[in-house]
Structure 1
Amino acid sequence: MEDIWLGYAKRLQAIAATGLHYCSDGFDAERFTEIDSIAREMMRRLGQVPISHLRGLAEPHEGYATPKVDIRAAVFRDGQILLVREKRDNRWTMPGGFADIGLTAAENAVKETREEANLQVRATKLYQVRHRAKQAGDPDHRDYYKFFFLWVVSQRLV
């Protein structure tokens, strides 16, 4: 479960980014910029990471701040689940990543599984959607939903 203060900082930063996008008054822009800076500093301190590592936050040019979508493929064969190594931290995970624009959630999962595991899969169903901040694990300054698809292996690519 996400730390309550990290959740507050993420919400403040999203409100600031949305406010900066829609405000037309210079004084409001100054206030929202200050709130954005404070929220980013809170996240930096809570996560003990440099601000330069806080990528993926809502930005004013994006309009209304919304969560990102992370797609994961749960690929089972003979009672075992397929895991791949994340390039970012070398930890084991199910194939997937943040959704690409222009592809459906299922198409993203197929693409990620092909790229990361060299497997061609077909969806059997969307298994679950979870809010990352409500799950166990390391804190994350980004806010996103995780879509988990169940898959059947069609073939291994050469």
Structure 2
Amino acid sequence: MEDTWLARAKRLLALAETGQHFTTDPFDRERYDEIAGMARAMLADLGRVPLSQIEMTMPAHTGGYATPSIDIRAAVIRNGGILLVRERSDGLWAMPGGFADIGSSPAENIEREVLEEAGLRVTAQTLYAVRHKARHPYPPDPRDFYKLFFLCSPLDAATPIPGPETSEAAFFAPDALPDLSRTRNLEKDIYAAFQANGKSPSPAKFD
């Protein structure tokens, strides 16, 4: 569960950004700008990182109502193993996925991510979990995310190959997982995929 002060700082920033978009009063805009700046400074203090790092990972809101970002992950299971890719950015392993791109459906997004990161053609079959990242033991994050986890079926028996953002791609048994990129996925995300695999479709677990 996310630290209470981190959750409050993120919520304060979201309220300020929403106010920046909807206000028509120049004095209110100045106040919202100041509140947004204070919230980013609080996030920097809580994360013990430079303010510039917060501003880089959380650029100024471009307009509209401030909402969580969407992260999607694919569980591709074959012969008792799950597909994981080694991220070039941190050298750790994760289910293929990333930010959802605007203009594509969730299924299109995740199928493309698997192809780009592991060279495998898959079809999205079942949404098995929707998690609010802040409610689970992922490392603290100044951004707010909903994480969507899909069971995907491979369309052929091709061997996985890494893509531009990954250095390796392979299948792993659930009792022999490599070091995971815990900002992207936890062991329980993978175990939940094995529990859902092969069963008749059931409602996704959600927060």
Q: TM-score, normalised by structure 1?
A: 0.93
Matched AA of 1:150: L
Partner of 1:35: 35
Partner of 1:138: 139
Partner of 1:113: 114
TM-superposition CA deviations, 1:38-87 (whole Å, max 9, x none)? 10011111112222322453734321100111110011111111111223
Structural mapping, 1:1-158, within 5 Å = 1-54=1-54, 55-57=56-58, 59-155=60-156, 156=158
Identify if the C-alpha distance between structure 1 residues 42 and 8 changes in structure 2 by more than 3 Å, giving closer, same or farther. same
Matched AA of 1:26: P
Identify if the C-alpha distance between structure 1 residues 60 and 117 changes in structure 2 by more than 3 Å, giving closer, same or farther. closer
- SS of the residue corresponding to residue 121 of structure 2 reads strand
Runs of 4+ in 1 over 3 A off after TM superposition: 55-60
TM-superposition CA deviations, 1:3-40 (whole Å, max 9, x none)? 11111000100111110111111221111111101100
Alpha-carbon contact 1:17-1:58 (below 8 Å) kept: no
Alpha-carbon contact 1:71-1:146 (below 8 Å) kept: yes
Question: Following the alignment from structure 1 to structure 2, what is the Cα–Cα distance between the partners of residues 137 and 51?
Answer: 22
- SS of the residue corresponding to residue 88 of structure 2 reads coil
Deviates more, 1:83-92 or 1:42-51: 83-92
- SS of the residue corresponding to residue 58 of structure 2 reads coil
Deviation at 1:153, TM superposition (A): 1.2
Question: Following the alignment from structure 1 to structure 2, what is the Cα–Cα distance between the partners of residues 59 and 136?
Answer: 27
Matched AA of 2:99: F
Query: Is the helix fraction higher in 1 or 2?
Result: 1
Unaligned ranges ≥5, structure 1:
none
Matched AA of 1:110: E
Question: Following the alignment from structure 2 to structure 1, what is the Cα–Cα distance between the partners of residues 64 and 122?
Answer: 35
Alpha-carbon contact 1:122-1:151 (below 8 Å) kept: yes
Question: Following the alignment from structure 2 to structure 1, what is the Cα–Cα distance between the partners of residues 2 and 90?
Answer: 20
Matched AA of 1:69: I
User: Identity percentage over the alignment?
Assistant: 53
Deviation at 1:88, TM superposition (A): 2.9
Alpha-carbon contact 1:14-1:58 (below 8 Å) kept: no
Unaligned ranges ≥5, structure 2:
162-207
- SS of the residue corresponding to residue 126 of structure 1 reads strand
TM-superposition CA deviations, 1:96-140 (whole Å, max 9, x none)? 000001111011100000000111111221111111111112100
Deviates more, 1:116-125 or 1:79-88: 79-88
